[in-house]
Amino acid sequence: MSRKRHRLVSEILGLKRRRERGPVDADPLRGESGSARAAVTELVRLFPRGLFEDELPPIALRSQVYSLVPDRTVADRQLELQEQGEIRVIQLGFDLDAHGIIFTEDYRTRVLKACDSRPCAGAVQKFLASVLPACGGLSFQQDQMTQTFGFRDSEITHLVNAGVLTVRDAGSWWLAVPGAGRFIKYFVKGRQAVLGMVRKARYRELLLSELLGRRAPATVRLGLAYHVHDLIGAQLVDCISTTSGTLLRLPET
């Protein structure tokens, strides 16, 4: 990872946290040369679990990973290698390119908890035991679910009602997270609010340190640092290195 990228990470995550974790060599982003897996580990620490009463698995976004692993091809390849094992990638729905990244074990734990003692519990347990380990994709087809894994239509309906699947189109479904609607609402509103903070600044630019030091609007429920990673990785702001630190500037339209 470049020195510029490490400076950016330090500014966002805070020098205090880095000191608490020990010397620079202990930092996973540095130790694993900016791997996507290390980036996800760092990003899920920013996820406000308490806001959702710990009912949602911590979610990072693919765009946030790009803020820490600037080579997108490398990041995507590493995420694909992880997708059938340690992590799952889900379609968040508000944009076709909006992909959430969740550690598989966190996903299993929260889904089982959400469906405990409900009529859907049996279908959910069957899905987690058979389909999830075998299929690493974002979506599932009807013949795959019924013929390969032996799901009845009623069981698929249970999975949809449980929020484990959402309809993609006739005969296919996206992998989903039960209760993710509230997160998506907070994320979309927060992204616009943080973009607005930069837009209202003089010359439509703001030092990263100054932005992170400001009081966030009430609509920024997920935290400024969480959204800044998204804005940078989604290229909604340009990052300019200055003697005063990283400057965030809205791209010229």
Tens digit of each residue's pLDDT (9 = 90 or more) over 115-156: 998 999 999 999 999 999 998 888 999 999 999 999 999 999
Q: List where CATH 1.10.10 sits in the chain.
A: 181-249
Domain spanning 181-249: CATH 1.10.3470: no
Rounded (10°) angle between helices 3-13 and 224-233 = 150
Taking the C-alpha atoms of residue 84 and residue 250, their distance in angstroms, rounded to an integer, is: 37
pLDDT at 83: 62
Tens digit of each residue's pLDDT (9 = 90 or more) over 204-241: 999 999 999 999 999 999 999 999 999 999 999 999 99
Contact 236, 249 (CB under 8 A): no
**Confidence band for 56, pLDDT divided at 50, 70 and 90:** very high
CA nearest 251: which of 229, 233, 235?
235
CA nearest 139: which of 65, 89, 77?
89
CA nearest 122: which of 171, 156, 149?
156
Of 46-60, 73-87, 160-174, the range with the lowest mean pLDDT is 73-87
Contact 166, 173 (CB under 8 A): yes
Tens digit of each residue's pLDDT (9 = 90 or more) over 21-42: 444 333 322 334 478 999 999 9
**Confidence band for 243, pLDDT divided at 50, 70 and 90:** very high
**Which one-letter DSSP state was computed for residue 59?**
-
What are the two backbone dihedrals, phi and then psi, of residue 175, each rounded to the nearest 5 degrees?
A: -70, 140
Q: What percent of the chain has pLDDT over 70?
A: 86
**Which one-letter DSSP state was computed for residue 138?**
S
What are the two backbone dihedrals, phi and then psi, of residue 173, each rounded to the nearest 5 degrees?
A: -140, 145
Question: Does pLDDT of 47 surpass 80?
Answer: yes
Question: Does pLDDT of 188 surpass 60?
Answer: yes
Cα separations (Å) of 222 from 2, 59, 95, 187? 27, 11, 19, 7
Taking the C-alpha atoms of residue 117 and residue 114, their distance in angstroms, rounded to an integer, is: 9
pLDDT at 98: 87
pLDDT at 4: 54
SS3 150: coil
Mean pLDDT of 80-99: 82
